[in-house]
Structure 1
Amino acid sequence: MTEQDTPHIGAKASAALLIIDMINDMEFEDSEKLYPQAYEAAQHVQALKKTAKSAEVPVIYVNDNYGRWQSDFRELVAHCKSDVKGRPITEMIEPDEDDYFVLKPQFSAFFATPLDLLLDYLEVKTLIITGVAGNMCIHFTANDAYMRDYKLLIPGDCTASNSVEDNEHALKLMSHVLKADTSPSTSYDMKTILDEARTYYESN
């Protein structure tokens, strides 16, 4: 596949940034526990997204449909920008027109979704996974990605769970078991990440 086959992509990065369930109305039980950590993580995700896009890394929003089976992603964003608890986070990291989106029915971004096909189309084998909740959807997604031989970067400052302890426990598991790099996004050198991503892609 050549770059002419994907004219909306400036350059093949071999890496993608996943933002999972951050477009969220936060209108659910125990959301008051998640919100403070999620807001802090969103600030880091916002900065990381800016860095990723400047390096032409594709950004993919993966979101639960929250039972709104007749809605599309734009309607979901509009809902989360209405008078709901999650509005400040949604407005902070609102998708751009050239971002991708995938709706998921369960915890994993891969289960019953076209994510694998999209990543193959984009020639991606390295994933930077961010979002909520670290001990649920992030962990399930990382498990499925690991089984599909993706290289994993899960920046600890870009994920959140109901408690800091839960999130740290999930990050330790993903680091030890799934070989994920959980270094904070503030330590990232995007050029190095992309060089290593291209090498990994070419070797797989």
Structure 2
Amino acid sequence: MPRQTPAADAQPALRATPLPHAERVLVLVDFINPLDFPGAERLLPGALRAARATARLKQRLAQAGVPAIYANDHYGTWHAEFSDVLRACQALPGPRGQIARLLAPAPQDLTILKPRHSAFFATPLDLLLRQMQAREIVLVGLAADMCVQLSTAEAYMHGYSAWVPSDCTAAETPEAKRRALRHMATVMKCDVRASTAGAGRTRAGRVVAQPG
């Protein structure tokens, strides 16, 4: 039998990635984020609180068998992989790096990059969710009044129910966050109870009076 060349020996085998089947899937939007845009300083304290709440929720959901998908902006770096964005953000000083380190994906988590605000626009998210047989998404991330809100709008159009835990997202002002959560609850029929309110089964239209 002829000996393979070193290059052939080193080439990894390509194998299909098995996807878990789950009625509910956690979707994390733009938490891995340099937060270097105008207004980011106002968003940062709430973003850190939301990241801490999300880390606790993610652990509870993982124990219940709920898989996680990271849908993250590539910030215009078309040559980058998710791992490149993660490493760059983890190296940042202060809360920016802390958020990226706190919410770094686990080996079993799925990651996708998105070119625009919504987690669904020009991404394979809907295809992944359908192959996983998901019916409900738990949507968390930044910011409540932009990427999270636009993602819930597309989730609604695609036929998914959504839970957007109020303490697992943030906006530049408390009023902007309240408006966004109210809109998601009344228009997109999302459950916006906090992550501490229990299992978080979707209840269309329920709004938290004073989101954290």
Same fold (TM over 0.5): yes
Number of equivalent positions? 187
Q: Do structure 1's residue 56 and structure 2's residue 26 form an aligned pair?
A: no
Give the structure with the higher percent helix.
1
- Distance apart, 1:6 and its partner CA: 7.3
1:155 aligns with 2:165: yes
Q: How does 1:24-63 map to 2 (within 5 A)?
A: 24-63=33-72
**Structure 2: gaps of 5 or more residues:** 1-15, 204-212
Instruction: Pick the aligned partner of 2:116 from 78, 96, 106.
Output: 106
User: 1:3-53: CA deviations, max 9, x gaps?
Assistant: xx97563xx331100110000112222210110010011111000100111
Contact 1:27 1:84 in 2 (8 A): no
Tell me the secondary structure at the aligned position of residue 139 of structure 2: strand
Q: Deviations over 1:126-183 (max 9, x none)?
A: 0100000000000100000101110111111111011111011100011011110000
SS at match of 1:113: coil
CA distance in 1, matches of 2:107, 2:60: 17
Deviation at 1:188, TM superposition (A): 2.3
Give the deviation of 1:68 after TM superposition. Answer: 1.0
Does the CA contact (< 8 Å) of 2:144 and 2:177 recur in 1?
A: yes
Rounded Cα–Cα distance in structure 2 between residues aligned with 1:26 and 1:138: 15
Q: Which fold has the larger relative contact order, with Cα–Cα distance below 8 Å and residues 6 or more apart in sequence?
A: 1
Please say if 1:92 is aligned against 2:106: no
Question: 1:27-85, CA deviations, whole angstroms, 9 ceiling, x for partnerless residues?
Answer: 22221011001001111100010011111111011100001111100111000011345
TM-score (norm 1): 0.87
For the 8 Å contact 1:37–1:164, the answer to whether it is kept is no
**Aligned-residue RMSD, C-alpha:** 1.8
Determine what percentage of the aligned residue pairs are the same residue.
36
Q: Report the equivalent of 1:181.
A: 191
| SS of aligned partner of 2:38 | coil
Distance in 2, matches of 1:19 and 1:44, equals 12
Indicate the residue corresponding to 1:138 in structure 2: 148
1:81 maps to which of 90, 101, 107: 90
